[in-house]
Amino acid sequence: MTTKHEQILDYIRQLEVGSKISVRGIAKELQVSEGTAYRAIKDAEAQGLVSTIGRVGTIRIEQKEHEHIEKLTFAEVVKVVEGTVIGGRAGLHKTLNKFVIGAMRLEDMMRYVEDGNLLIVGNRVKAHQYALEAGAAVLITGGFDTTDNAKRLADELELPIISTAYDTFTVATMINRAIYDRLIKKEIMLVEDILIPIEQTHSLRPDQQLSDWHELSRQTGHSRFPVIKENGKICGVVTAKDIIGREATLTIGQVMTHHPITASPKMSVASAAHVMIWEGIELLPVVDENTHLLGIISRQDVLKAMQYIQKQPQVGETFDDLITTPLEEVEEGDRYYVQVEITPQMTNHLGMISTGVLTTLMVNAGDRLLRRYQKGDLVADTLNLYFLKPVQIEQKIRIYPRLFEMGRKFGKVEIDVLHEGKLVAKGMMNAQLIDRK
């Protein structure tokens, strides 16, 4: 039986894109309290089903596929530029494919404006009109308004006109930043990208016998299964370790592991890998916000995904990329180290290397050393710093990682950081290996 919360979410999913919803309207339509309707709408917003825009309200938007996450809807542009919608509200759910800056003569400008574009321009009312006629939305900078005719046309064509107090350069920078951040997110593989969906997942119920586990294990060749109730909610996990040596008359519910560790679809694969290593588990059920089973991931799935990630070109640079890219690897006889010059971006407000940047560099150096000894994916577990001195901007440092201990599933590295031959930092890093099982 579905809850009222789930019923509201299902109702929202069935609405046409562009539909306007409200707490009071949902409460009246589905005969629920306004508090329940409010919580469900907030949940829908978190899931990307709706978007709430100031002075406009909450509208049903199109859920973008993960591979197209670098594109923005006009509703999201309103939020990015802190703008006001002055026309064409019904088109806020649409996605822009390109933005054009109107900084030339009108005739020249219109050669670049196409259907689905966003024209960024100041108080040039003719440009507003022509852009709408060409099928483009308009973003007016400097806080200016437009003509009533343009507003009527925008409403008719369902193409938003947005006004923002920022100047054209600032607006373009803000939109570029938003798209750039999404490009980075696009490269982050999530659990939902690799999960085995519930339709292809084998599971057991808590009231089944141990013989059912033996039969399912024989049929599938697997030994670990999620345990779900009749309503589809996860209630446990059962493995060969739980079954072997137990009486055949017992039920799955009596031997299973209760309250299993689970993952959400939006969890990153790297986070899932860390959980599986730390907890020593081979199978991770993936559930929704109401603990309904959506599918499973295995340690092998995670390993394959992380190997795939490493082979992909990085579209957007993260702070870690910016910090570690200048690292230069050096070998002098049997000594291995990495060296880097401290750039302005690496410093704190005192002009000294930031502690966070230094630890990132040390972990990266330790990771590079371990990969020389052990093939596979490594996840840094801990880094203990027990000596630290400041180093100022534009100085070069050398980071010497030394293998302290190496096991089949872990590695320990002692790391020294030197500046002009003097020790400025010292630490010990532990890393876990994600092995194939």
Chain segment 46-72, per-residue pLDDT in tens: 777 887 766 667 888 766 544 444 467
Q: Is 371's pLDDT higher than 80?
A: yes
Q: 210 in helix, strand or coil?
A: helix
Confidence of residue 112 (pLDDT cuts 50, 70, 90): confident
Q: Is 371 or 427 the better-scoring residue by pLDDT?
A: 427
Q: Is 433's pLDDT higher than 60?
A: yes
Q: How many residues belong to the chain?
A: 437
Using one digit for the tens of pLDDT, what is the confidence trace for 347-361?
888 889 999 899 999
Q: Is 68 exposed, middle or buried (0-12, 13-18, 19+ CB in 10 A)?
A: exposed
- Position 307 scores a pLDDT of 66
| Alpha carbons 245 and 214: distance in angstroms, whole number | 12
Using one digit for the tens of pLDDT, what is the confidence trace for 389-416?
999 988 999 999 999 988 877 889 999 9
- Position 376 scores a pLDDT of 62
- Position 262 scores a pLDDT of 94
The candidate with the shortest Cα–Cα distance to 419, out of 362, 341, 307, 313, is 341
| Alpha carbons 159 and 291: distance in angstroms, whole number | 40
Using one digit for the tens of pLDDT, what is the confidence trace for 259-302?
999 999 988 887 888 788 778 888 999 998 889 999 999 888 88
| Alpha carbons 135 and 138: distance in angstroms, whole number | 10
Are the beta carbons of 110 and 130 closer than 8 angstroms? yes
The share of the chain scoring above pLDDT 70, in percent, equals 89
Per-residue pLDDT, averaged over 141-169, amounts to 93
- Position 7 scores a pLDDT of 86
Per-residue pLDDT, averaged over 174-202, amounts to 78
- Position 187 scores a pLDDT of 59
Q: Is 108 exposed, middle or buried (0-12, 13-18, 19+ CB in 10 A)?
A: exposed
- pTM, two decimals, is 0.48
Instruction: Give me the residues paired with residue 328 across strands.
Output: 339
- Position 245 scores a pLDDT of 86
Confidence of residue 129 (pLDDT cuts 50, 70, 90): very high
- Position 169 scores a pLDDT of 84
| Alpha carbons 5 and 45: distance in angstroms, whole number | 13
Q: Is 23's pLDDT higher than 80?
A: yes
Using one digit for the tens of pLDDT, what is the confidence trace for 298-329?
888 887 777 665 555 444 456 676 778 788 99
